[in-house]
Amino acid sequence: MKLKDLLEKRKSAIITHWFNLVVDTYPPDTSRFLKKQKDHFANPVGTTISYNLGPLFDELVMDMDPDNITKLLDPIIRIRAVQVILSPSQAVGFVFSLKEAVRKNLKKELLDNKILNELLLFESKIDELGLMAFEIFVKCREKIYALKATGERERVYRAFKRAGLVSEIPDGKPDGMINFLKSDNVEVEPLSKGS
Amino acid sequence: MIDSKERASKLSYLPPKTDWMDTPTVYKEGMYCYAAKPSRLEYMDAPYPKDWSCMDEDWQLPENWKEIILEGMKERLEKYRTFKIFMDICVRCGACADKCHFFIGTGDPKNMPVLRAELLRSVYRNNFTKAGKILGRIGGARELTIDVLKEWWYYFFQCTECRRCSVFCPYGIDTAEITIIGRELLNLLGLNIDWIAAPVAFCFRTGNHMGIQPHAFVDMLDFFTDEIENVTGVRMEQTFNKKGADLLFICPSGDVFGDPGTFTCMGYMILMHYLREVHGLDCTWSTYASEGGNFGLFTSHETMKRLNAKMYAEAERLKVKWILGAECGHMWRVINQYMVTMNGPADFLEEPVNPLTGTKFENAKATKMVHITEFLSDLIQHKKLDLDPSRNDRLKVTFHDSCNPARGAGILEEPRHVIKNVCNHFYEMPRNCIREQTFCCGCGSGLNAGEDMELRMTGGMPRGNAVRYVNELHGVNTLACICAIDRAVLPTLMGYWAPEVDVCGISELVANALIIPGEKEKTENLRGEPILRKDVEPDEWYTRPDFPGREE
Amino acid sequence: MNKKYMYSLLAVIVLILLPYVGVEAAGLQVLFGIIIPYLAVLIFIIGFIYRVMDWASSPVPFRIPTTCGQQKSLPWIKQNKIDNPFTTGAVIIRMALEILFFRSLFRNTSIGLNQGPKISYVWEKWLWIVALAFHYSFLTVLIRHLRFFLEPVPVWLQWLEKIDGFFQIGLPGLYMSGAVLLAAVTFLVLRRIYLPQVRYISLAADFLPLFLIISIAITGILMRYFTKVDVVGIKELAMGLASFHPAIPDGIGALFYIHLFLVSILFIYFPFSKLMHMPGVFMSPTRNLPNNTRAKMHINPWNYPVKVHTYDEYEDEFREKMKEAGLPLEKE
């Protein structure tokens, strides 16, 4: 029997194992909730992970279509990229937990050298998946930084600019909000009392 | 055989061996807002202004800070039955635990509402109950220390006071109330965040949170007048601070000065013009009371009252009949549950009656303030607005119930009634994310700063997730809401979780559908986006490359 | 082993040993049969009233009901009268549903109706059912005990016993309430111990009443079904206590005194603990007030004047700019 067949045969056990490993990256109080609550809207984190791991596994066993993988990885990484409770390595490292799930579930079969060799190949696929995960993670983080940098300022500036009010600022006494936004939250803005 | 166990364990969470009380709070970048600058507090005569950061080891607290907090607790226990009862009766059943968007999103157990309250309750037990004094730790009591204070600060500014947990609590324990009191206590030591303290000071001085002075306010609306003229061909002059007008109109300043609220603001202006020209109803703006929102609610009850007072004061000065309030979330929490108690009675106003339809707004008899969607719903029901909903045909709309109108007032059907009359394509999100169970935007109660982006994105995840769902299922491209903070923060949230979805206010939708006397042939909506042509099949339109919103 | 519940478990074991030793070895029947029960009831009544009065002494400055449905507004918009009550009558219905059926707790289960992917609501539903079972069986057991204090036993009480013993299992007939109570309270303990989420939020103090109630139920069941106690003697004691002519009849075993002592402890503990949620639920301002503040002014007894920024001050500060912008002014 080839590794591919074995993986397909044990698929559900391996995926369940993998899912548990991923969810255990959260505190135990949280992970139970993530595992038990099956409503997608009450528990977006747990269900997103559980929906996408299966298809991801299929991709690994098959040919690894990059577009499909991105589509499947993105929702999970997108969530984990903003969860500061996880370190960056934890955020993407869940991919590699699949190795453990596979090894644990194929313990006996791996005594066969041929299968073991195939496993090495399979594991390099997982490594590749890890790198793709890293790439998505960085993109998400970049997005967050971009939102941080522009978000609020952009929103108000844009409105002011359209109104042609921005040019007034250097001349007269600055308006509170403009100054507030410009101050980059470092300078103390003069809020003259009772003047 | 390689054993990966050891290595893999490094990637999994190492649970603290300790109980929550012993687990120290680690401040994480992106999860907190910057501290309030001294000038804001000084302007409001608030205690202990200082230049500080929550990351400082030393918080520059006064010597007797503990006394101040405990004294503050005592005072509030005597003043608020809510506080006292909520401190006493929680049985820790856990029904609220997974209802908080911050818990769902961040996975941090201290974001379970029950634990957030326990942060305060533990100190309450220690200092105010006999059982706590005798049993100590076994009875769930703990000493107030600087670490406890820092924990309070971190977690009370990770709650948006959305009240979702309160819906599920068998005793109605309201974490919002606990957070409000918790923040009030922190404010006794000058420990606020700048994103709250600055708008408060600005609002006190200039009448709006943005700190916009009267002339700039007028300039901004003049500019919108030009914009509207470009789109509709009609010049819609507004009146300001006009004595003897029929109604005083108050909107959140966020709509005046920030996109995409500005389009909602233009919606208000078009509506007012329409009412004046077609029905002879005179609504005036005020520059003095130019803020509907009230960041005082996020500071202290007293601050809330100080800011809210301007509404009645201005209505009295201008001798209007009653007040029309625009689309804003926490503004309506204040109006519905605090305003008349704090600053009433408003005897100088009339009990609100819609002069165009004769409808008495029975539910607003005392505050004399009507919500714009109540008003719009009434106008629509009596066919007082000439509407062409097909002008909104390129929009597939869903509605985000803002927490405060939903759980602090119950304004659920009015906005839906309006949307359904001005849009042909309306889709609800799943039942457990709307109405009284609505998920917060994750940025309310003053947490809509830039530096806490991770907090906002995780807190808003359940909402983003539900929008993404209807986006994929029905092609929803517009998220309507009746809250200015929503309009400010949801575009960012959507940018991360559901990038194809735009955010708008209800009044914008109404204005786009409104047929205005003397208008030119409308080809664009207020955003300059083409209106779906009648000769194009909607299904075809949606797939065309020039379909708006497809650029990204 | 978790420290949190060990404390409570130990405490309850000690509480069981105390009357056993006291009665068997020291002959302190009067203490455990008369003095402590009287004391317990006294502390319970005074403590209960004190706590409720203490809550009542704090005013309700603002009317902040949690609105869980459509408000009353326009005639064509259907109000949700129960979840967003406008009148006192509606509030009473809301409270009744809350208190009799734990409506808010039930909400946990009602969200299964959406069109999302597969749904299951294991523990929330159980919590609601078990909570109901626990409270109602406790109430039934409590009422059934009135038979010890009333002579003759009223007909309605006999009816209740009949319904409770409906299944007629074994002899003496098994009361459902006792079995349900024990099962429910065991579930509540196990839930606290085994669900990490709930364990994390639990305090040591949360286990004490649960262990107490378990012990009370077990001793009660033992007395009724296993060791034959002198029911006539117990009734004599109970009647004596109720008529303020207490006397200790002979031949009541230690098991009864343990049972009585644990009940006394529960009574004493009640006013100092979270068990006060029983009266508290009636007084919760987010549930027991109508959402009608906009129609009817609610008075805050300590409302005080605050410093505001008046229009005149505002105009003084911005007069020039207002003038330039063509805004009407009070003073030129």
CB B114 within 8 A of CB B97: yes
Dist CA B406 CA B480 (whole Å): 14
What phi, psi does B248 have (nearest 5°)?
-95, 130
* pLDDT tens digit sequence for C275-329: 999 999 999 999 999 999 999 999 999 999 999 999 999 999 999 989 999 999 9
User: What pLDDT shows up at residue C147?
Assistant: 87
User: What pLDDT shows up at residue B7?
Assistant: 43
User: What pLDDT shows up at residue B429?
Assistant: 93
The top-level CATH class assigned to B389-543 is: alpha beta
Dist CA B119 CA C302 (whole Å): 28
Query: What amino acid occupies position C112?
Result: G
Find the helix packing angle between A44-61 and A66-80, rounded to 10°.
150
Contact list in A for residue C192 (CB cut-off 8 A) is none
Chain C contact for B432 (CB, 8 A cutoff): yes
CA distances from A185 to A146, B33, B207, B427, B451 (A): 17, 11, 22, 40, 10
- Return the closest-CA partner of residue B330 out of B503, B161, B100: B161
User: What pLDDT shows up at residue A157?
Assistant: 65
Instruction: Note whether residue C329 is domain-resident.
Output: no
In chain B, residues 95-124 whose CB comes closer than 8 Å to chain A: 97-98, 103-109, 112
Bond into A27 cis (ω within 30): no
Closest residue in B to A179 (Cα) is B211
User: What pLDDT shows up at residue B353?
Assistant: 95
User: What pLDDT shows up at residue B9?
Assistant: 42
CATH of the domain at C289: 1.20.950.20
* pLDDT tens digit sequence for C141-158: 999 999 888 888 888 888
User: What pLDDT shows up at residue C121?
Assistant: 38
Instruction: Note whether residue C330 is domain-resident.
Output: no
Question: Per DSSP, what are the bridge partners of residue B324?
Answer: B249, B370
User: What pLDDT shows up at residue A169?
Assistant: 35
CA distances from C106 to B169, B314, C114 (A): 10, 46, 16
Dist CA B222 CA B242 (whole Å): 16
User: What pLDDT shows up at residue A43?
Assistant: 86
Dist CA B194 CA B41 (whole Å): 10
DSSP calls for A75-117: HHHHHHTT-TTS-HHHHHHGGGHHHHHHHHHTTTGGGSHHHHH
Contact list in C for residue A42 (CB cut-off 8 A) is 111
The top-level CATH class assigned to B22-192 is: mainly alpha
Nearest to C294 among B172, B215, B364 (CB): B364
Task: Name every residue whose Cβ is closer than 8 Å to that of residue A6 and which is 6 or more positions away in sequence.
Answer: A106, A109, A115
User: What pLDDT shows up at residue C165?
Assistant: 80
CA distances from C292 to B333, B364, B369 (A): 13, 8, 13
Instruction: Note whether residue C223 is domain-resident.
Output: yes
Nearest to A39 among C119, C200, C317 (CB): C119
Interface test with C, best of B88, B125, B213, B363 (most C CBs within 10 A): B363
Nearest to A27 among B15, B98, B461 (CB): B15
Positions in chain A whose pLDDT score sits under 50: 167-190, 192-195
Residue B504, H or E segment: strand B502-505
In chain A, residues 115-174 whose CB comes closer than 8 Å to chain C: none
User: What pLDDT shows up at residue B546?
Assistant: 58
User: What pLDDT shows up at residue B137?
Assistant: 84
Q: What percent of chain C has pLDDT over 90?
A: 57
Dist CA A181 CA A174 (whole Å): 11
Structurally, how many domains does chain C consist of? 1
CA distances from B254 to A177, B32, B228, B398, C76 (A): 11, 22, 19, 22, 31
- What is the predicted ipTM? 0.90
User: What pLDDT shows up at residue B405?
Assistant: 95
Contact A36 C116 (CB under 8 A): no
Chain C contact for B374 (CB, 8 A cutoff): yes
User: What pLDDT shows up at residue C124?
Assistant: 60
The order of strands in the sheet holding B478-481 is B397-400, B478-481, B502-505
User: What pLDDT shows up at residue A149?
Assistant: 77
CA distances from C92 to C87, C95, C99, C100 (A): 9, 5, 10, 12
Average the pLDDT over each of C97-111, C114-128, C275-289 and give the range with the smallest value. Answer: C114-128
Contact C58 B344 (CB under 8 A): no
Could you state, in order of their start, the residue ranges of all structural domains in chain A?
Answer: 3-148, 150-182
User: What pLDDT shows up at residue C168?
Assistant: 64
Instruction: Note whether residue C332 is domain-resident.
Output: no
Task: Name every residue whose Cβ is closer than 8 Å to that of residue C134 and which is 6 or more positions away in sequence.
Answer: C180, C181, C184, C185, C188
User: Domain residues for C148?
Assistant: 3-324
Contact list in A for residue B97 (CB cut-off 8 A) is 33
* pLDDT tens digit sequence for A48-84: 898 899 999 999 988 888 899 999 999 999 999 999 8
The order of strands in the sheet holding B283-285 is B283-285, B247-250, B322-325, B369-371
Give me the mean pLDDT over the C105-120 stretch. Answer: 48
Long-range contacts of B492-496 (CB under 8 A, 24+ apart): B492/A147, B492/A151, B492/B453, B492/B456, B493/B441, B493/B442, B493/B443, B493/B456, B493/B457, B493/B460, B493/B463, B493/B464, B494/B464, B494/B467, B495/A143, B495/A147, B496/A78, B496/A82, B496/A140, B496/A143, B496/A144, B496/A147, B496/B457, B496/B464
Query: Nearest CA of chain C to the CA of A51: how many Å?
Result: 10
Query: Nearest CA of chain C to the CA of A100: how many Å?
Result: 25
Dist CA B153 CA B32 (whole Å): 9
Dist CA A168 CA C161 (whole Å): 85
Contact C197 A32 (CB under 8 A): yes
User: What pLDDT shows up at residue A24?
Assistant: 87
Against chain C, the chains showing at least 3 CB pairs within 8 Å are: A, B
Positions in chain B whose pLDDT score sits under 70: 1-18, 533-552
Q: Give the mean pLDDT of chain C.
A: 87
Query: What amino acid occupies position C20?
Result: Y
What phi, psi does B284 have (nearest 5°)?
-120, 150
Give me the mean pLDDT over the C43-60 stretch. Answer: 95
Instruction: Note whether residue C19 is domain-resident.
Output: yes
Instruction: Note whether residue C315 is domain-resident.
Output: yes
